């Protein structure tokens, strides 16, 4: 499969096949329909052993020993998964668990922006035509950047919208920044592209290695430590120039998302170009290495990753016709059971532990 066909198929899978269904569901449910699926306690299993010994010092000298073993299931995320069905969504980011932004849609039917605030879902209208939105990031609830097809950049201040067309005549897939005047956007169908915003305008960056096509996501720890993933490569910007990392590892993977808890704890996820299994790479102080997911990665495509610490990370994607969620607890990855009835595209985790994952038919969230 070529890089072009891989990205095209992912785009068609995420956006177009579910558009008609999303419109019907959205019209029937107004802003959406929630259902709650309690999972009880999910995660690590611990055994509490209580031993009660009663000794009666009477003439019969009876000694009664009762041993009760209770197995309690503990968890890193003690919550119930909820489903909010709304529309086809591509990306999610939050300023906090009470201010979460989700974007999606496509150029044929609609532009979709949802804002989750204090338990309420609100559809926002950026005042543009039908454009598929692909990435969202912000410095806060009143400073949000959204990128999409046709090199569109939207900015929301909590009340009003501004829009910019960078002028590269291409698609933008991801956005991330350090501050409101140091923001990076990535994309490209014709050629790999990274654009930078310095507070006054957007400029296309030069020197992007040609080892990758179709950049999908961007993340970093500072303006001089930025990573971009795409088909076949992981790119790094050190503040003055770009280079390729993990070239041998990543060359056979189509990478879709990247996230880290620090400069020495970074995960990149995607799928194998040839085959049907997930691919995941991890960078620590020693460099990049491949992560084995075992059977949990079989027939899985990973498209999003996010967390709140090095021991609480979620990766989401597609398994068959439904979604898949993997969780890392600091020592191992495992599948999470939930109401993941549709493919998932992205995930964001609040520092307070709430998890929001968006996909082709709406949102699943754990509170």
Q: How far apart are CA 146 and CA 91, in angstroms?
A: 9
Confidence grade of residue 25 (pLDDT, cut at 50, 70, 90): very low
pTM over 0.85: no
- Cα angle 104, 110, 114; round to 5: 45
Q: How far apart are CA 301 and CA 360, in angstroms?
A: 14
Upper half-sphere CA count for residue 247 (Cβ side, 13 Å): 5
Which tops the pLDDT comparison, 232 or 349? 349
- pLDDT, residue 109, reads 77
Supply the mean pLDDT for the chain.
82
Say which CATH superfamily domain 3-39+73-366 falls into.
Answer: YVTN repeat-like/Quinoprotein amine dehydrogenase (2.130.10.10)
- Would you state the structure tokens that stand for residue 21, as one six-digit string? 């269904």
Q: Is the pLDDT of residue 33 over 70?
A: no
- Would you state the structure tokens that stand for residue 319, as one six-digit string? 């398994």
The set of residues, in sequence order, having a beta carbon less than 8 Å from that of 40 and lying 6+ positions away, is 73
- pLDDT, residue 48, reads 41
Q: Which segment of 8-12, 39-43, 174-178, 229-233 scores lowest on mean pLDDT?
A: 39-43
Taking only the tens place, the pLDDT of each residue in 322-367 is: 999 999 999 999 999 999 999 999 999 999 999 999 999 999 999 8
Confidence grade of residue 108 (pLDDT, cut at 50, 70, 90): confident
Taking only the tens place, the pLDDT of each residue in 201-216 is: 999 999 998 776 789 9
Strands (E), 157-286: 161-165, 172-179, 182-187, 193-197, 202-204, 213-222, 225-231, 233-237, 242-245, 253-262, 265-272, 278-284
Confidence grade of residue 168 (pLDDT, cut at 50, 70, 90): low
Domain boundaries, the chain: 3-39+73-366
- pLDDT, residue 214, reads 84
DSSP for 204-220, written as a single string: E-----TT-EEEEEEEE
């Amino acid at each position: 499969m070529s890089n072009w066909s891989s990205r095209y198929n992912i785009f068609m899978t995420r956006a177009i096949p579910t558009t008609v269904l999303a419109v019907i569901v959205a019209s029937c449910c107004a802003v959406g329909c929630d259902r709650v699926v309690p999972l009880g306690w999910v995660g690590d299993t611990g055994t509490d052993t209580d031993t009660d010994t009663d000794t009666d010092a009477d003439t019969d000298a009876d000694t009664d020993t009762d041993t009760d073993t209770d197995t309690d299931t503990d968890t890193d995320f003690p919550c119930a998964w909820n489903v909010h069905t709304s529309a086809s969504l591509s990306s999610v980011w939050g300023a906090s668990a009470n201010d979460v932004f989700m974007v999606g849609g496509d150029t044929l039917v609609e532009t979709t922006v949802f804002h989750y605030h204090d338990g309420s879902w609100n559809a926002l209208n950026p005042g543009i035509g039908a454009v598929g939105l692909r990435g969202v990031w912000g410095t806060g609830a009143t400073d949000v950047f959204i990128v999409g097809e046709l090199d569109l950049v939207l900015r929301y201040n909590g009340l009003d919208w501004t829009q910019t067309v960078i002028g590269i005549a291409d698609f933008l897939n991801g956005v991330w920044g350090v501050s409101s005047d140091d923001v990076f956007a990535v994309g490209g169908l014709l050629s790999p592209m990274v654009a930078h915003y310095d507070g006054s305008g957007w400029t296309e960056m030069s020197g992007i290695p040609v080892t990758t096509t179709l950049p999908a996501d961007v993340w970093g720890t500072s303006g001089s430590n930025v990573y971009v993933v795409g088909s076949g490569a992981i790119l790094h910007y050190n503040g003055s120039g770009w280079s390729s990392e993990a070239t041998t590892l990543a060359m056979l993977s189509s990478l879709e998302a990247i996230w880290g808890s620090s400069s020495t704890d970074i995960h990149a996820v995607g799928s194998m170009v040839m085959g049907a299994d997930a691919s995941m790479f991890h960078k620590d102080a020693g460099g990049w290495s491949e992560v084995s997911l075992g059977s949990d990665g079989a027939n899985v495509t990973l498209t999003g990753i996010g967390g709140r610490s090095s021991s609480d990370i979620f990766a989401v994607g597609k398994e068959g016709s439904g979604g898949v969620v993997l969780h890392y607890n600091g020592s191992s990855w495992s599948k999470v059971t939930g109401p993941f009835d549709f493919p998932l595209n992205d995930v964001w985790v609040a520092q307070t532990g709430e998890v929001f994952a968006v996909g082709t038919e709406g949102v699943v969230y754990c509170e």
